[in-house]
């Protein structure tokens, strides 16, 4: 789907505030409410917008330790990858799992209460994952940047690629 300036404006406003009403969004981008709603629905149907989420203060829920774990497998066969992915999805503290290129096969983001909780997760889940050859974990000391996709930069690149 080729996006125009109005579509990109819609995406920009929804990234800033996904709870904005259709009336407010239409007003901000100077469209009728019905035209705005059609465009949002088209962005959803095309897969540009894949959902809406609430941002949660993890610390307020007791998750005071954020671990980044690099997993290296003993094989990259489809069987081993599939078995690993099926099992890692069962660990409730793993909030992100990415298949990677480079020296590690997977990069996990794990939310824990503290170091003792991470030890439990390591013992109950991570050490039992199939095909694991190495586990390396680092802990976040402080988040420096946390923002949605750098839309302005992407818009510029998208505009150059689609002209």
Q: Where are the domains of the chain?
A: 5-54, 59-139
| Whether pLDDT at 148 is above 80 | no
Distance of CA 139 to CAs 35, 59, 89, 96, Å? 46, 14, 21, 15
Write down the pLDDT at residue 154.
63
User: What strand order describes the sheet that includes 65-73?
Assistant: 94-99, 106-112, 65-73, 132-139
Q: Cα 35–40–45 angle (5° rounding)?
A: 120
Higher pLDDT, 30 or 148: 30
CA within 13 Å, CB half, 57:
2
The topology (CATH level 3) of 59-139 is Alpha-Beta Plaits (3.30.70)
pLDDT band at 152 (very low <50, low <70, confident <90, very high): low
For residues 108 and 94, the answer to whether their CB atoms sit within 8 Å is yes
pLDDT in tens, 132-146: 999 999 999 998 988
CATH T-level topology, domain 5-54: Arc Repressor Mutant, subunit A (1.10.10)
Q: Dihedral (C-alpha) 145, 118, 95, 103: value to the nearest 10 degrees?
A: 80
């Amino acid at each position: 789907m080729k996006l125009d300036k109005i579509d990109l404006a819609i995406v920009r406003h929804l990234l800033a505030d996904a709870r904005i009403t259709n009336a407010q969004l239409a007003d901000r981008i100077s469209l009728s409410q019905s035209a705005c709603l059609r465009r949002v629905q088209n962005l959803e149907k095309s897969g540009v917008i894949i959902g809406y989420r609430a941002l949660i203060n993890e610390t307020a829920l007791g998750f005071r330790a954020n671990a980044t774990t690099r997993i290296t497998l003993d094989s990259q066969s489809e069987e081993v990858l599939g078995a690993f992915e099926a099992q890692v999805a069962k660990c409730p503290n793993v909030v992100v799992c990415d298949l990677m290129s480079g020296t590690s096969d997977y990069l996990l983001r794990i939310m824990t209460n503290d170091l003792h909780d991470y030890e439990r997760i390591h013992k109950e889940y991570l050490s039992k994952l199939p095909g694991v050859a190495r586990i390396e974990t680092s802990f976040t000391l402080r988040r420096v940047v946390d923002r949605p996709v750098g839309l302005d930069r992407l818009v510029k690149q998208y505009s150059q690629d689609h002209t």
